[in-house]
């Protein structure tokens, strides 16, 4: 028995009746607890607005969803299926992100506790002294406290913050490129279904 949430992409002119029949077939196969039927009444079709992207449509559904088998279908521009011309700004933003991730990974690897020269590593949290050769990670095997110094942890946190900013920049540029192609994109339905099997 499990709880299943799915998102389906359908053409704008898809038959709602056929989709419900398709869901009935899936639910019957999964031995649905409501007697083997997908209740069409739990699915609301919203055709009053067309969202810019798949992600926008999914966010809209998430806001509409009141929980407990509250399914929704919204229209959106399928910008993901339209080829996007490479942009210098996007390439540059991705390169910056890749460099930050590589620098973080290198720093984390170089600052592992196992790379220290001292034979025993002390835990500032529980006071344990652990032989470096027996350490399998950067965490105290007794209390699970991070054994790396605060300066190292702060630098990793700084990398993480810069990586998050760089990821957001990539996302913003990708979103802007998708919006440029919106006129070429087909309108589709995004349908969220939820059932118990």
Assess whether pLDDT exceeds 70 at residue 33. no
Show the tokens assigned to 195. Answer: 């059932």
Torsion angle of C-alpha atoms 122, 127, 131, 134, degrees rounded to 10:
-110
Assess whether pLDDT exceeds 90 at residue 158. yes
Q: What is the pLDDT of residues 169-195, one digit of tens each?
A: 999 999 999 898 899 999 999 999 988
- The pLDDT assigned to 152 comes to 96
Show the tokens assigned to 169. Answer: 């920049």
Assess whether pLDDT exceeds 70 at residue 36. no
State the chain's mean pLDDT as an integer: 90
Torsion angle of C-alpha atoms 42, 47, 48, 53, degrees rounded to 10:
100
Both ends of the chain: CA-CA distance in Å? 5
Give the whole-number percent of the chain exceeding pLDDT 90.
71
Q: What is the pLDDT of residues 50-90, one digit of tens each?
A: 999 999 999 999 999 988 788 999 999 999 888 878 799 99
List Cα–Cα distances, 136 to 113, 115, 142, 143, 149, in angstroms: 9, 12, 12, 14, 17
């Amino acid at each position: 028995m499990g709880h299943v949430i799915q998102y389906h992409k359908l053409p704008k002119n898809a038959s709602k009746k056929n989709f419900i029949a398709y869901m009935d077939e899936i639910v019957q196969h999964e031995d649905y607890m409501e007697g083997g039927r997908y209740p069409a009444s739990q699915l609301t079709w919203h055709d009053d607005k067309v969202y810019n992207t798949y992600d926008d449509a999914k966010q809209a559904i998430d806001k509409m969803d009141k929980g407990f088998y509250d399914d929704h279908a919204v229209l959106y521009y399928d910008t993901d299926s339209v080829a996007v011309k490479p942009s210098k700004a996007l390439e540059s933003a991705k390169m910056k992100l890749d460099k930050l991730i590589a620098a973080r990974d290198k720093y984390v690897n170089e600052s592992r506790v196992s790379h220290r020269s001292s034979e025993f590593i002390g835990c500032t949290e529980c006071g344990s002294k652990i032989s470096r050769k027996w350490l399998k990670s950067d965490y105290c095997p007794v209390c699970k406290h991070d054994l790396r110094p605060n300066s190292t942890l702060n630098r990793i946190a700084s990398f993480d913050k810069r990586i998050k900013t760089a990821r957001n920049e990539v996302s913003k540029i990708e979103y802007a490129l998708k919006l440029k192609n919106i006129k070429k994109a087909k309108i589709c339905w995004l349908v969220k279904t939820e059932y118990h099997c």
